[in-house]
Structure formats: structure tokens, C-alpha cells
Structure 1
Amino acid sequence: MPQPKELDPYANPRTFYGAELRRLRETAGLSQNQLGERVFCSGTYIGLFEAAERRPQLELSRALDELLGSGEHLQRLCLLARKSNVAGYFADAAELQLQASFIGSCTSVVLGLLQTEAYARALTRSAHPFAAKEVIEGHVHTRMERACLLDSPTAPVLWMVIHEAALLVPVGGNAVMAEQLAYLAEQAASRPRVVTQVLPLSAGAHPVLQASMTLMQFTEAPAVVYTESAYSGQLVEEPLLVEQYRSAYDLARAAALSPEASLDRIVSAAKEFVTP
């Protein structure tokens, strides 16, 4: 469980939320475990909020306000702490990626952290065909900014299992796909902490065909899973369900081509999109 640590309550809205939650809990004479039991979560989870290591949740804040008799205080702070430049449903996962020591994904498109600008733009435009250009460019810019995570001295191990179908669909056209696959191959070959495996068509049915999933593991916190479709996402933290997703991810890695064979397949697919 995260131990209480001295935070500057005024550093940002999240630390202020954590400090206020801790103050209200201690005033009520409750331990983290006792408070967690009363709002149906773990004491570890309460500790993560108090340490400003997780973005606060509105529903939980409502329950905490009711239990601690704090009116709507924590709910208001929660709204401030949850402001983000990324889509609301992805904001929690984006924050957790910065803290993860390991990120494992199963996808049917190239993972956002490894997308080229043109590929990201084509995917975003396909999901929002009627959006204004500036809206599309805002999404693309934010996605490109997040890729700097891989350049951090504390970058996580990123292990992506990508379905072979993602190498065959011409997202954005042949030129965009050729560039994207060449970039993916270059990243896999040059970054020792980036591992890419291709799940071949011959592997047959697999959960990755139904929705993308990203497993995030941490040094001092329980693992979580993020699942996503074109218009929504969900953060999964229930241990038994996380374990089920972890098993699916492990099976995907076992069924996929080796990293070396996967790199060859990506390079081969890139050449197929190059116009003679």
C-alpha cells in the first residue's frame, strides 16, 4: 500500500485532492483500509489517490463525500484533477502509461505510441469523418506528444502483439501504410525496450479480434488493463478480470510469430505497399 508522503497540496489539482482526502480521512479517524471498506474499494486504492498517483474518480468521490460528510468538496476537486488533453475515456490510461514499468498490448491497429502522424490522422479521420480539421489535428498532435514516453530514461518495456490483418489494411492509402510499417519496423529493430510480435492470420479466432487491450504493470501498484474500441474505452482494475486479460495476452504472445520473424513480416508488408 502506498505510504503517506509529503506532497505539496498546491502543486496541482491532483495533489490538492490527495491532501484533502487524507485530511478528511484522518479527521474521521479512519485508516486507508477502513475507508476503502466503506466505499467498496481497497485501502491500496485509497492510498494511490492520497499519494496523487491515480486520477480521482467521480463516482468514488461522490461516495467519499457522502461518507465523510464533505458535501461536494471532493467531487469538485475531482473535476479539476481530471482535466486532460486526451479523450475523456482514455485519460486515466494515458496517465497510467507514464507510471507503468511494463506495457503489453494486443491490437488490430498499430498502437498509438508507435503511430506515424499520417497514420494517426487517417485513423482519427475515419472515426470522426465529419469533425473539423482543427479537431482532427488536435487529436493527432496529442497522440504524437505521448510518443515521447518511449524516449524517457524510465521508459517502460513496450511489448505489442499486433494482428497480421493490421499489416494488410491500407489505412490512409499505400504511401501512408508503407511509411507506418517502415517506422514500426525501425522502432522494433532499434529500441531494445520495444518488442513487437505479429499474430498471424493462421492463429484463428482470438480476443484481439474483438477489441484492443493494453496491460499495464507497475513497480508498486496492482496491474490494470485498458480496453478500447473506436469511441469508448474502459479501465479494468478488478483483479480476477485483470488476470483473465493477462492470460489472453500471454496466449497471444505464445501464438504470435517470434520477434525476429515478426520484423521480417512487417518489412515484407511495408514493401507490398510501395508503389513500383
Structure 2
Amino acid sequence: MVNIRDLDPSASPLDYYGSELRRLREEAKLKQEDLGAIVFCTGSLIGQIETARKVPTRDFSERMDAALGTGGLFSRLVGLVLRSQLPTWFQAYAEMEAKAAYISTFQAQLVYGLLQTPEYARAVLGVRTEEGLDAKVAARIERQRILDRENPPLTWVVMSEAVLHQEVGGREVMRSQLAHLLALQRREWAKVQILPFEAGAHGGQLGSFTVLRVDDDPDLVYTEDFIQGHMTANPQTLREGYLRYDHLQAAALSVDDSAALIARVMEERYGHHPEPDERAVA
């Protein structure tokens, strides 16, 4: 029998989600195994989520809504749950990112989080520890939902060419990630420019940064160090951020030329190349 423990629904969004799932399941007179069979998962998984030991996914939440006839309760709650899994210091930025009308970012080492594939995100987030990795990846992918809304923010990304060559997660992961960037380029609201190695010294050498333009709030500049993030609306900092970003855009390849470079690196560096034992022996 699954160990049942009392939850304080006010302790966290995850605890509230778990307590509501248990309450509605019991109201439906279903055992955990019964509900699991309906939604094609194990009763153990139901129990782990009910006791806040595992973070639900959006897919799981949608299946719970359908099975229990909740009117979309869990689909609404899961966004809060996943956001709560972001680092505490990052949550304020994620909230402002979700409100932004225009996102301008320079990325020196990695693909911007909103443009990462799940596999690429898993490799990035799991580099130091795999503890809670599923929840971290789910939270990052949840952030990307702002790009699928009716009026998504205009997202303009300048990336160092080094990002294309830094193999994160292996060749297949990188190939899929670069293909994803090319697919995003076809959307009106998402543009990627590559800052080529030939550009030499540039305004982003001190590190990655993002400028958010929010309709009803001051513009913001966001930077990170290896411990936490820093967000400010200081006018002088904003001025410097916009100036550096303008210079980076000017030095970067055009959107079309950037797409061509991404495609070339994808094929030449991450395309299928036979391993030594696959090659024909003369």
C-alpha cells in the first residue's frame, strides 16, 4: 500500500496540487491504481504526485483533467507548480519574461532557454547533478509556452558562433537543436543572428545578457553569474545594454546568412558520418 502522508496545501503549489489530486480522486471513489489504469500510468506515480514527491507534467495534468472531469483545474495549476521548480532567484525574471513584448538577448555559450529543445535543456541542466532533473527540464519547457500564445513576444537572439560548435548532449542532440533553431526562424516573431568568429572583439565578451521590453513596466536588463541572476531597471544600465546589443546586431550575420551558417554547421559537424568500423575496408 502506498504510504499516505498529510500535506499542508498552503506549503507550496506542489503540495496544493497533490492534495487536490488526492481529494478529487477520493471523491471519484477511485484507488490510485484505478486512476493510473485510466490515464495509462502506474498507481505509484499517482501516489508520488499526491504526496508531493514528484512533479507533475503538463501532459499528466491534462490527462487528470479528462479522467476526473475537473474543468481544466490541473492544467491551470501545473503552470504554478512548474514555475515554483525554477530557482528562487530566477522566478522574478521568469515572471517578467512572460510579460515581455520584446526580448533581445545575446548568448555567448548556450542556446537561449526559450529556444532549447528538451534534450538540449536536459544536457545543460544536468551537467552538475541529475537530482530533480525531470522537474527542471519540465519547468524550462513550460517557460516556452509564452512563444505559443496568440501574441508571443518578439524574440530576437544574437548568439556567438561558438554556441553552434559547443557540443552539448552529443551530436544527435545538437543536430536536433540546430534544426529547431532553423524551424523557429520561419516564425515571424523569432529571429536568430549568429555573431561569427571573424567579428573579433565585441560588446558581448563580458558575458550573456538579456533586455526585456514590457508594455506596462520599465524595461529590464538581466545578467547571470555562476550563482544567481541580476535584474535591473537602472537607466544607465539599460542604456549600456541597448548600446551593446545594437553593436552586436550590427556585427552579426544577417538572419538569412545566419540560417545558412546554422544549416552548414548542422550538416558538416553533426550530420551522419560513418564510424571507423562502418567504413568499407579496401
Structure-1 residue corresponding to 2:115 = 114
Structure-2 residue corresponding to 1:228 = 224
Between 1:159-168 and 1:204-213, the stretch displaced more is 204-213
Counterpart of 1:113, as a letter, is L
Question: What CA distance in whole angstroms lies between the structure 1 residues aligned with 2:118 and 2:136?
Answer: 10
1:99 and 2:96 are equivalent in the alignment: no
Question: What CA distance in whole angstroms lies between the structure 2 residues aligned with 1:262 and 1:137?
Answer: 32
Question: What CA distance in whole angstroms lies between the structure 1 residues aligned with 2:226 and 2:134?
Answer: 17
Q: Percent same amino acid at aligned positions? A: 33
Counterpart of 1:91, as a letter, is Q
Question: What CA distance in whole angstroms lies between the structure 1 residues aligned with 2:203 and 2:134?
Answer: 31
Question: What CA distance in whole angstroms lies between the structure 2 residues aligned with 1:181 and 1:110?
Answer: 9
C-alpha contact 2:211 2:222 (8 A) present in aligned 1: yes
Question: Offset at 1:125?
Answer: 1.5
1:147 and 2:148 are equivalent in the alignment: no
Question: Offset at 1:210?
Answer: 2.7
Question: What CA distance in whole angstroms lies between the structure 2 residues aligned with 1:186 and 1:230?
Answer: 31
Counterpart of 1:120, as a letter, is A
Question: What CA distance in whole angstroms lies between the structure 2 residues aligned with 1:166 and 1:273?
Answer: 13
C-alpha contact 2:203 2:247 (8 A) present in aligned 1: no
Structure-2 residue corresponding to 1:237 = 233
C-alpha contact 2:106 2:245 (8 A) present in aligned 1: yes
1:252 to 242, 248, 252: 248
Structure-2 residue corresponding to 1:138 = 135
- What are structure 2's unaligned runs of at least 5 residues? 1-82, 274-282
2:172 to 164, 175, 193: 175
Counterpart of 2:266, as a letter, is A
Question: How do 1:1-276 and structure 2 match up within 5 A?
Answer: 84-108=84-108, 109-126=110-127, 128=128, 130-132=129-131, 135-189=132-186, 191-271=187-267, 272-276=269-273
Question: What CA distance in whole angstroms lies between the structure 1 residues aligned with 2:206 and 2:141?
Answer: 26
Please, what is the CA RMSD of the aligned residues?
Answer: 1.6
Select the structure of larger CA radius of gyration. 2
The count of aligned residue pairs is: 190
Question: What CA distance in whole angstroms lies between the structure 1 residues aligned with 2:233 and 2:242?
Answer: 12
| Deviation readout 1:235-265 (Å, 9 max, x if unpaired) | 0211111110111011100100000000111
2:106 aligns to what SS in structure 1? Answer: strand
Question: What CA distance in whole angstroms lies between the structure 2 residues aligned with 1:85 and 1:206?
Answer: 35
Between 1:109-118 and 1:204-213, the stretch displaced more is 204-213
* Distance verdict in 2 for CA 1:220–1:146, change over 3 Å: same
1:208 aligns to what SS in structure 2? Answer: coil
- TM normalised by structure 2 equals 0.64
* Distance verdict in 2 for CA 1:230–1:178, change over 3 Å: farther
Question: Offset at 1:84?
Answer: 2.9
Structure-1 residue corresponding to 2:21 = none
Counterpart of 1:186, as a letter, is A
Question: Offset at 1:193?
Answer: 0.4
1:185 aligns to what SS in structure 2? Answer: helix
